[in-house]
Structure 1
Amino acid sequence: MLPGFLLELYETSQVYKLPDVEFSYWQDDNAPAETVKKADGTWTWPFPPHGLPPIMAWAKNKMHGALLVPYSSAFRCPRDSFDAIVSEVHKMSEMPWEQRSSMAFGRWNIFCAWYYRGHLKLEDGTPAPCPRNYYNDLYYNHTDKLLTVALNRNLTNGTTATSVSLHEQHKFKYLVSTDGWAVSSKFDKYMLLGSLLLKAEGLTYAFYYPAIQPFEHYVPIMKKHKDDLLDMLEWAKSHDAEAQRIAQNAQAFAMRHLNRQARLCYMFHLITQLSKHMRYQVDCSRRPACIPLVEEIKFLSKYVHTANKCRYQETLMQYGHDDPDGLPGYSGYEELLKKHEAQPQYILFGGH
């Protein structure tokens, strides 16, 4: 998660002139849950070290105080990243809406966030079950409508459910999106596919969620009652033109507002606004380690445990070769390796 964020931050710094700021970045799922809102409306970090700079994270609950940034690793690093799928949207558009399968498709690992342990209530007053587990079981009673089977679970034809590439899921007219430990890292990619998104409600959200609306960009499920997926699926089938319009809205939103240029613009404005709240001069004298970002990215691109985590070279080749903050080639690698090895592993990359 960290490599993608640092790459996006570095590219932002090359496209825009960024002010000097300090912040912490939480690369796990639910760090904002560790912040505490005080009676006066301010936020505090309850554990040592105290006095941390503002915390940036890629998902949070609305009651928590982190600043939301894109989940950059999912947007730009894997083969099925958002940026990779953008380049295939034209090809995917060759699959007409009418020819897509009318099965509601979902594929995931079975694990769920803390708020599915009774915290999230449905409109009928009952606690929401874990959607990934519940929809898997619901499939066995509705095999004519659903293909919502978790990875490595049994299909009714005797085979085992395996991974289906995001590059192939546009063949389904309806896609079921569920959260894991935090927001689904696939939801924004699903928006590109031109399918109707049936999105299970949750209590955490990503940086762009306030800009999307139910029945405008997606259809909410696990909202009225635990089986409302079936109701919404029937609604979509009986309102086919409206379902297609919602799917097109989602695709247009993603293409316009979640592309890389838009994400860099978002990062620029977030950091610019953050700079207006800094109450001290930001400089390296305050920190035991102060590493130029270009050197850190070069290090990540060579370090054995992170070298295959993201597409470093497409950014380094564009900006890194003549960055005045960088050293020639990889001449700073060994010294930087020693600095990293002197730090606890949880500060490095969350362990190996």
Structure 2
Amino acid sequence: MSVRLLLLLVFSLEVFRCELSKEKAGSAINAAKTLVWGPGLEADIVLPARFFYIQTVDSSGERLTTSPGEKTFEVKIVSPTEQFTRIWIQVLDRRDGSFLVRYRMYATYTDLHIHVLLKGKHVAKSPYILKGPVYHEGCDCPQPSGSVWEKNMHCPESFAQITRDLSLHPSVDPDQNAQEIPKRFGQRQSLCHYTIKENKVYVKTFGEHVGFRIFMDAILLSLTRKVRIPDVEFFVNLGDWPLEKRKPTDKLHPIFSWCGSNNTRDIVMPTYDLTESVLETMGRVSLDMMSVQANTGPPWPEKNATAFWRGRDSRQERLQLVKLSRAHPDFIDAAFTNFFFFKHDESLYGPLVKHVSFFDFFKYKYQINIDGTVAAYRLPYLLAGDSVVLKQDSGYYEHFYNELRPWEHYIPIKANLGDLLEKIQWARDHDEEARKIALAGQQLARSHLMGDSIFCYYYKLFKEYARLQITEPKVRKGMELVEQPTDDLFPCSCDRRMEKDEL
């Protein structure tokens, strides 16, 4: 027998074995005992892309921990009052025995029936009936009561970062801030001055570079379509760097930013990147917290035991990282995809390489997270994958860093990367511990950084900030109304009772 024929035979047997194991796994699943849950099964939770989970369980009650095959389940969503439903559905195989089902509605329906099927048989308590009206993302129909909305959304009582940020502001004077903040920051920085009045959004911009306003406009419009926000007036920093650098003993100005630092006192929001990924899931973006969960690379034992990084030259330590990689290619695979901030010296940093699909990062066990101009905004997606994150000690932070614990959710490395090689070696020598850290980080991302959590964070932030105001928020001179987008094709009628919450 020729070598080529032998290899072909081995390959065929391997394919047959894999298909057989998938078939056995599929037949071992118990439809009645399998678990189905999540916010996408509740009519009152309106998200750009709704989602729920399926956890496979066998006949003995044990949860499966490997994929039974990505085509295992069929999900159908229909409305008995409509012949056709404009709903895009995706069943994402998380390859750990569980599935994430996401769907985006392009119209509002009276009642939805969600069928979760295994070989034509209903799973768990399928069909799940969402009693209508079930509103789609574009429907301008806010819940009048914020407390009812929070309860429906299962929002937490509080967020540690919001409590910490607002503790520096015993009271807020919108009249005074409207005078002082533009004078202090308006000439040199890019700011948006927002007022939400009667649940309508008004804005005035300061500075030259205000393009990132689109992200803030989008989340405010989306949020006000879902819930009535208390009247509130605030300033948003559109730049990368947080602005308020005064000492806690000085009079601080409240500035909302997408990133915080140990040397500043800004009020932190979810990053524009994470915010957009939530709003545009199953839309404009390809990288979001759900898509990552279905693209985590090969199983842990088959991943490359090398630390991986790609990016641009936005920080000195990134130059050091690439030099380290060139000196220790068996430990680190790091390269630049773009040079902008420093002079490109190919002899030191090698040639630029092509962009790598983010999902291909997870072919590697170890992901290096290192600051850019500020915090590296890719961290939520790295945590959501199936690799362990080696995170640089940093003075910058995002809204969720309060939840992160070193050695529990990630492996810490020094700011100067002085112990990076040592930590990679530790991970190689302690494979099971590294795997547990990767899974804990993944679980944190799954439970704290999905769309429902992001909307809860924004609402809580605006609600708690509104409580601090000692003068009435106003639509100031020069402010313009930010219009809600119109949907002439699929308009919705809102039948909520219009009663306001008391602050």
TM-score (norm 2): 0.50
* CA deviation profile, 1:258-296 (whole Å, cap 9, x unmatched): 111100001111111001111111232x332231452xx
**Structure 1 residues 264-343: aligned runs within 5 Å:** 264-284=455-475, 286-294=476-484, 298=485, 321=491
Aligned to 1:43: 252
The CA deviation at 1:229 is 0.6
Aligned to 1:249: 440
2:274 counterpart of 1:82: no
Query: Relative CO higher for 1 or 2, CA cutoff 8 Å, sep ≥ 6?
Result: 1
Tell me, in whole angstroms, the C-alpha distance in 1 between the residues paired with 2:443 and 2:479: 43
* CA deviation profile, 1:142-189 (whole Å, cap 9, x unmatched): 011110122257699x86422111121111110111111111111111
Tell me, in whole angstroms, the C-alpha distance in 1 between the residues paired with 2:229 and 2:309: 40
Aligned to 1:118: none
Alpha-carbon distance change, 62 to 322 in structure 1, aligned in 2, over 3 angstroms: farther
* CA deviation profile, 1:114-160 (whole Å, cap 9, x unmatched): xxxxxxxxxxxxxxxx320101111111011110122257699x864
- Structure 2's unaligned 5+ residue stretches are 1-211, 278-283, 339-343, 495-503
Is the contact between residue 75 and residue 82 of structure 1 (CA under 8 Å) also seen in structure 2?
no
SS in 2 for 1:92: coil
* CA deviation profile, 1:171-230 (whole Å, cap 9, x unmatched): 11101111111111111111111111011111111111111011111111124x643110
Give the aligned length.
270
Is the contact between residue 386 and residue 442 of structure 2 (CA under 8 Å) also seen in structure 1?
yes
Tell me, in whole angstroms, the C-alpha distance in 2 between the residues paired with 1:57 and 1:205: 11
Q: 1:11 aligns with which of 222, 226, 239?
A: 222
Alpha-carbon distance change, 155 to 103 in structure 1, aligned in 2, over 3 angstroms: farther
Structure label with greater radius of gyration: 2
**Going by fraction, where is helix more abundant, 1 or 2?**
1
Tell me, in whole angstroms, the C-alpha distance in 2 between the residues paired with 1:203 and 1:88: 27
The CA deviation at 1:108 is 1.2
Is the contact between residue 393 and residue 414 of structure 2 (CA under 8 Å) also seen in structure 1?
yes
Alpha-carbon distance change, 281 to 214 in structure 1, aligned in 2, over 3 angstroms: same
2:370 counterpart of 1:178: yes
SS in 2 for 1:25: strand
Tell me, in whole angstroms, the C-alpha distance in 2 between the residues paired with 1:323 and 1:178: 48
Tell me, in whole angstroms, the C-alpha distance in 1 between the residues paired with 2:256 and 2:435: 35
Aligned to 2:153: none
Alignment-mate amino acid for residue 138 of structure 1: L
Alpha-carbon distance change, 232 to 274 in structure 1, aligned in 2, over 3 angstroms: same
Is the contact between residue 219 and residue 275 of structure 2 (CA under 8 Å) also seen in structure 1?
no
SS in 1 for 2:358: coil
Alignment-mate amino acid for residue 36 of structure 1: R
Aligned to 2:255: 55
The CA deviation at 1:237 is 0.7
Is the contact between residue 62 and residue 204 of structure 1 (CA under 8 Å) also seen in structure 2?
yes
**Structure 1 residues 173-212: aligned runs within 5 Å:** 173-212=365-404
TM-score (norm 1): 0.70
**Going by fraction, where is strand more abundant, 1 or 2?**
2
**Identical amino acids, percent of aligned pairs:** 23
CA RMSD of aligned residues (A): 2.7
SS in 2 for 1:176: strand
Q: 1:134 aligns with which of 301, 310, 320?
A: 320
Alpha-carbon distance change, 159 to 229 in structure 1, aligned in 2, over 3 angstroms: same
User: Which portions of structure 1, spanning 4 or more consecutive aligned residues, are displaced by more than 6 angstroms?
Assistant: none
Alpha-carbon distance change, 168 to 245 in structure 1, aligned in 2, over 3 angstroms: same
Alignment-mate amino acid for residue 134 of structure 1: Q
Tell me, in whole angstroms, the C-alpha distance in 1 between the residues paired with 2:369 and 2:236: 26
Tell me, in whole angstroms, the C-alpha distance in 2 between the residues paired with 1:19 and 1:100: 49
Tell me, in whole angstroms, the C-alpha distance in 2 between the residues paired with 1:142 and 1:232: 14
* CA deviation profile, 1:31-67 (whole Å, cap 9, x unmatched): 32x44236x35314xxxxxxxxx31101121332211
